[in-house]
Amino acid sequence: MPSIALPGADGRITAFATSPPREFPRATPPFPRVALAAAHVVADPLAEQDPWLDTRIDWDRTIAFRRHLWSLGLGVAEAMDTAQRGMGLDWAAAQDLIRRSLDAMRDIPGAVMASGAGTDHLPPGPDVTLDDVIRAYEEQCEAIEAMGGRIILMASRALAHAARGPADYERVYGRILAQVRQPVIIHWLGEMFDPALAGYWGHDDHMAAMQTALAVIRDNAAKVDGVKISLLDDGKEIAMRRRLPAGLRMYTGDDFNYPALIAGDEDGYSDALLGIFDPIAPAVGGALAALARNDLGEFHAILAPTVPLSRHIFRAPTRFYKTGVVFLAWLNGHQGHFTMLGGQQSARSILHFSELFRLADRAGLLGDPDLAVARMRHLLALHGVA
């Protein structure tokens, strides 16, 4: 197996020997858990553009990656924050992405996809009203439904700015949920992922905010498939999971504690809608295959090595996790470059990438170590590491 010299936090450069990639079990859905991978987009580095400002997407590679996820039995959560929604991907490009992905899944038996509807085309500001927020949500929900898509109701920066308390959230969500054609997934994205969402649901305290979210869900239960919370706190997720109306799903958004949350306990379990499922998709497919056989030992054996990798990718500032996701896609040959929308490939350091390389190898997730080493050497050279 190839070796590579990698820098460490102590400033020393030491040799690292790669391991053979792991062969993960394969199985055909349905699995005992719903598993949606929030998928990244592939930028087009050869398009004429201002890279920090323009949205130029390599559609062929972007859609090919979704086919990769579907081939492993995972569903796709489209146009979410992993796709750089609000950090490079605007609503116009998101509509195109959703349309193309829906077209691509039509010839894939059993393919599942849900898409993010939010208010990101409405910039937050002092003149934005709750009615403006409602109209913005309506526009995006109507567009996705007109394409035949399912909705993930994303958190709104504009609502977080305009709302004056819990009642404003209840009004906005109640209005939108009354209009949707089929049940949606409500996404509560914490401020660690997006600082502009601090105080969501009208409270800075997450447990108090949970009361408002649960009230909205109970009042509109027929229009809610489930809720995804991304607070990176398993205790809060379990507390909310146990209080959901019967039949509604908790989709874990906890990229730190997902194995135990998906496995569950005597009172229930979480399904999953996770950004980390993009880079670790082969392991997820294998773990779900083990869970389908009721083999919890194998389930945890597969996913346990992915947790240190995920915690590293999602370390603070957590909103830059997309950089690690795309980096691993590049190492594994899913795209021919490490260039991102908005120039986000610069959001992490070479030390971060070096540790990510080590952790991905230990999880068995470098599918072609020779290719990964060759590409890592190029990146090291660009950073002045000989």
Q: Which amino acid is at 50?
A: D
Predicted pLDDT at 329: 98
Confidence of residue 152 (pLDDT cuts 50, 70, 90): very high
* Domain spans of the chain, in order of start: 24-344
**For residues 291 and 376, is the Cβ–Cβ distance under 8 A?**
no
Predicted pLDDT at 60: 97
Predicted pLDDT at 54: 72
Rg (CA), the chain: 20
Predicted pLDDT at 318: 96
CATH number of 24-344: 3.20.20.70
Predicted pLDDT at 38: 98
Confidence of residue 28 (pLDDT cuts 50, 70, 90): confident
Confidence of residue 81 (pLDDT cuts 50, 70, 90): very high
Predicted pLDDT at 51: 77
Confidence of residue 314 (pLDDT cuts 50, 70, 90): very high
Predicted pLDDT at 122: 97
Confidence of residue 46 (pLDDT cuts 50, 70, 90): confident
The encoded tokens of residue 20 equal 């053979």
Instruction: Give the tens place of pLDDT for each residue, 244-301.
Output: 999 999 999 999 999 999 999 999 999 999 999 999 999 999 999 999 999 999 999 9
